[in-house]
Amino acid sequence: MERTRHLCLLLCLMVVACRASLFPVELGLGRSNLPLLQAEEMIRRLNLFPPQGINVVEREPERVQPEKRIVEKRFAFPNVIGTDRGVSIEDLGHHAGYYKIAHSHAARMFYFFFESRNSKKDPVVIWLTGGPGCSSELAVFYENGPFTIASNMSLVWNEYGWNKVSNLLYVDQPIGTGFSYSSDARDIRHNEDGVSNDLYDFLQAFFEEHPELADNDFYITGESYAGHYIPAFAARVHRGNKAKDGIHINLKGFAIGNGLTDPAIQYKAYTDYALEMGIIKKTQYDHINLVVPVCEMAIKLCGTDGTISCMASYFVCNTIFSSIMAHAGNINVRLHKSFLE
């Protein structure tokens, strides 16, 4: 253990030394300016909280009425361009809700559900954004959701939104991500077994809430760190079906976009991609690549020595990506101009 601590400290010192040459003073990383208060206000307006009071562990359970596992509400986003004023909330079929995780102390999992614009018989598709720790609302407004955000901050229907052909679920997971939370630190998951069990329990409750969708085809999709989530989740669904554990889930397949599956291979490819796409220059490429051997060493330690080493490897290896972003400036590295030609 002492040897591991010394190695982790050495790795951190090495990467700090590398970072000093990677970041010119004028290249500060951009700071997020998201309207956090507006987002919080929107969630509170949905009034999804159970009457017993969230985050309170009841000492006298006999006095508390049985609580629904899912609290869900239909809603409509404001400022949606192209929506007829005569369209009702029921017609839109947009839902937001909280699921009280069964095997937890005080955890609530937040989700959006958008009914298909075509037919309720369309497949049910769940989307998991990666991170780990990235909210799935990123995809709702920026990727495959029903809307895109216009320059005037209004919402515009997404021509390529997946809810045109599927009943679409977005879940903030694991607990601690986005609007999903707990007042008890014991509810934070540290492995894929815990994550996949929570998602499986959520699906059971969701299909109890929406039995009309339970027989539909079901697909698991996601991106980035979901390259870890999705195989574990799909395996959990398969095991549950085989054991006849609750509602049978009609799993037909899963899809992973730009999944993070093997960081030892993938992190060292970031600089190659950035140079090929003209995002960084050759001199910057050479400087950033100084971190690659340190990253590879850190990953090996993480694979054998556990939590402390993994924290160090996360810090070290993400220096590669953050260095590229610092030099890249205000561009979308996921949607490079060459992809649009």
**Is residue 269 one of the residues assigned to a domain?**
yes
Q: How far apart are CA 193 and CA 107, in angstroms?
A: 16
Last-in-domain residue among 257, 272, 301 = 257
Q: Are 90 and 67 in contact (CB under 8 A)?
A: no
Last-in-domain residue among 202, 232, 257 = 257
Residue 128 has pLDDT above 90, yes or no: yes
Last-in-domain residue among 257, 282, 300 = 257
Same domain? For 171 and 276 the reply is no
Q: What average pLDDT score do residues 238-247 get? A: 97
**Is residue 27 one of the residues assigned to a domain?**
no
Average pLDDT, the chain: 81
Same domain? For 319 and 204 the reply is no
- Using 50, 70 and 90 to split pLDDT, how confident is the model at 32? very low
**Is residue 2 one of the residues assigned to a domain?**
no
Tokens of 170: 């977005």
When mean pLDDT is compared over 23-37, 58-72, 222-236, the highest value belongs to 222-236
Same domain? For 321 and 177 the reply is no
Same domain? For 217 and 274 the reply is no
**Structurally, how many domains does the chain consist of?**
2
Q: How far apart are CA 76 and CA 139, in angstroms?
A: 18
Percent with pLDDT over 90 in the chain: 48
Question: In terms of pLDDT, which residue wins out, 279 or 68?
Answer: 279
pLDDT at 54: 41
**Is residue 313 one of the residues assigned to a domain?**
yes
Note down the domain range covering 161: 36-48+64-257
Percent with pLDDT over 70 in the chain: 73
Same domain? For 107 and 144 the reply is yes
Q: What average pLDDT score do residues 233-250 get? A: 97
pLDDT at 35: 43
Q: What average pLDDT score do residues 333-337 get? A: 61
- Using 50, 70 and 90 to split pLDDT, how confident is the model at 107? very high
Question: In terms of pLDDT, which residue wins out, 61 or 8?
Answer: 8
Q: Are 150 and 81 in contact (CB under 8 A)?
A: yes
Same domain? For 91 and 190 the reply is yes
Cα–Cα nearest to 273, from 289, 295, 262: 289
**Is residue 11 one of the residues assigned to a domain?**
no
- Using 50, 70 and 90 to split pLDDT, how confident is the model at 335? low
Q: What average pLDDT score do residues 237-250 get? A: 97
Same domain? For 298 and 223 the reply is no
Same domain? For 115 and 202 the reply is yes
Residues 6 or more apart whose CB falls under 8 angstroms from that of 277 comprise 333, 336, 338
**Is residue 298 one of the residues assigned to a domain?**
yes
Same domain? For 270 and 240 the reply is no
Q: What average pLDDT score do residues 334-339 get? A: 57
Q: What average pLDDT score do residues 299-304 get? A: 80
**Is residue 56 one of the residues assigned to a domain?**
no
